[in-house]
Amino acid sequence: MKAEAFRKHFPIFRDSVHLCSCSEGALSDRVIVAMSEFMTSWRTQAAPWESWMEEVDRARQQFARLIRADEKDVAVVSCASEGAFHVAWDQDFTKGRSVIVTNDLEFPSVAHVWLAARPRGADVRFVMQHNGVVALEDYINAINERVALVSVPLVSYANGFRFPVEDIAKVAHKYGARVVVDAYQGAGVIPIDVNTLHADYVISGSLKYLLGSPGMAFLWVRPGIVHGEDPALTGWFARSNPFAFTPRVLDYAADARRFQTGTPAIPAAFAAAAGMSLINETDVHHVFTHISALADTLQERVQAEGYHLYSPDQRDQRGPQVTVWADNAEHLSDYLRKRNIFVSPRGKAVRMSLHFYNNEEDIEQVVRTLADYRNSTRD
């Protein structure tokens, strides 16, 4: 599907500019239909669990397809933090490998899960960012034979910095450490192929660039990995047969479903499958080229208006976000929102994120309004 056709699936663009996929992707006509199908099935069929579970599998399949994985290696979880919990629990920090390497542009919730592994022996080390960039060299210097797990986001939520995941992962593997990639801020717009990524675990949730709703996330686990302790957070959907109904038997599924817990969020499954079906009808390489070109223009134009970048200005370090510093980020975002332009403030920065549905007109509108804001607050 081409960009223009893709955009037509998102009614918000009839009267608004959506530049906040880093927070929540735009609602598509396809997701509206899917969620109303869920409501209709509930109203007319009372408890159609079989077809609802098929929808969960459809979401799993769409995610697997997106990252070039086998669906049996994908667990459906409730949120990225839950996926991270399973990754931490899968490691043994007591046998000479105690270190988790992460960084201070990590999404806090994921970092919190690493910190919460300290009572199990984990020693968490943060690689520092400098001017919004985490240097490859600093990451590499933090990796040695005492490292159990290296956590590398695909893209930072804070400013869109795109990590050199493969370069870091290769070094981690050289030292026998495992690699977890939080792909939440890139999956859907940055091509991911688990066959070449050198990761052991990939986590993503469905609500941002995957164009679904809150309530569902995915954990891909490299096939053949030797698991640690059986997950302490579990439930019937982690059993080899969830419908065996045997309370005394705690077996774990042989595939990635071992990391699942209880009843999945069915409405979110409808949204996730529908959202990702749109992405899977595009070529994500083409999507990334499209958004990179828009980001080039946006970056250049906002700088010309006197804004300073928090996102990296180098193309090879930039994800789908252009982020500018703003002392009063909330105020600026409100100003834009009142003019139907949706961006995402975080602290003293305003994040403007791009998806395949964005076009040059969106850039034009936001830049013009940012200039107006500048003029209205100046004197």
Kindly list the residues in this chain that would bind ligand PLP in the complex (CB under 6 A). Answer: 79-81, 107, 109-110, 153, 157, 182, 184-185, 205, 217
Distance in Å, CB of 300 to ligand PLP, minimum: 26
Query: Which residue in the block uniquely carries the two structure tokens 């004197």?
Result: 379
Spatial contact of 60 and 218, defined as CB atoms under 8 Å apart:
yes
Distance in Å, CB of 169 to ligand PLP, minimum: 17
Measure the CA–CA gap between 78 and 47, rounded to whole angstroms.
21
Rounded to 10 degrees, the C-alpha dihedral 196/199/203/208 comes to: -40
Spatial contact of 201 and 76, defined as CB atoms under 8 Å apart:
no
Q: Which is nearer to ligand PLP, 109 or 234 (CB)?
A: 109
Spatial contact of 110 and 137, defined as CB atoms under 8 Å apart:
no
Measure the CA–CA gap between 376 and 294, rounded to whole angstroms.
26
Sort strands 147-153 and 178-182 into parallel, antiparallel or unpaired: parallel
Q: Which is nearer to ligand PLP, 184 or 373 (CB)?
A: 184
- Beta strands of 170-297 (E only): which ranges? 178-182, 201-205, 217-221
Q: Which is nearer to ligand PLP, 185 or 358 (CB)?
A: 185
Spatial contact of 126 and 100, defined as CB atoms under 8 Å apart:
no
Q: Which is nearer to ligand PLP, 291 or 367 (CB)?
A: 291
Measure the CA–CA gap between 327 and 345, rounded to whole angstroms.
11
Q: Which is nearer to ligand PLP, 3 or 231 (CB)?
A: 231
Distance in Å, CB of 243 to ligand PLP, minimum: 28
Distance in Å, CB of 221 to ligand PLP, minimum: 17
Q: Which is nearer to ligand PLP, 10 or 157 (CB)?
A: 157
Distance in Å, CB of 168 to ligand PLP, minimum: 16
Distance in Å, CB of 77 to ligand PLP, minimum: 9
Distance in Å, CB of 229 to ligand PLP, minimum: 22
Rounded to 10 degrees, the C-alpha dihedral 10/50/252/263 comes to: 60
In b/e form, how buried is each residue of 258-270, taking b as 16+ CB within 10 angstroms?
A: bbbbeebbbbbbb
Distance in Å, CB of 103 to ligand PLP, minimum: 12
Q: Which is nearer to ligand PLP, 185 or 369 (CB)?
A: 185
* DSSP label at residue 322: E
Whole-number Cα distances in Å, 19 to 62, 320, 321, 357: 24, 10, 9, 10
Q: Which is nearer to ligand PLP, 184 or 356 (CB)?
A: 184
Identify the burial level of 317 via C-beta atoms within 10 angstroms of its C-beta, where 0-12 means exposed, 13-18 middle and 19 or more buried.
middle
Measure the CA–CA gap between 125 and 97, rounded to whole angstroms.
13
Which residue in 17, 34, 378, 16 sits closest to 213, CA to CA? 34
Q: Which is nearer to ligand PLP, 185 or 299 (CB)?
A: 185
Q: Which is nearer to ligand PLP, 330 or 361 (CB)?
A: 330
Distance in Å, CB of 240 to ligand PLP, minimum: 27
Measure the CA–CA gap between 200 and 178, rounded to whole angstroms.
6
Distance in Å, CB of 156 to ligand PLP, minimum: 7
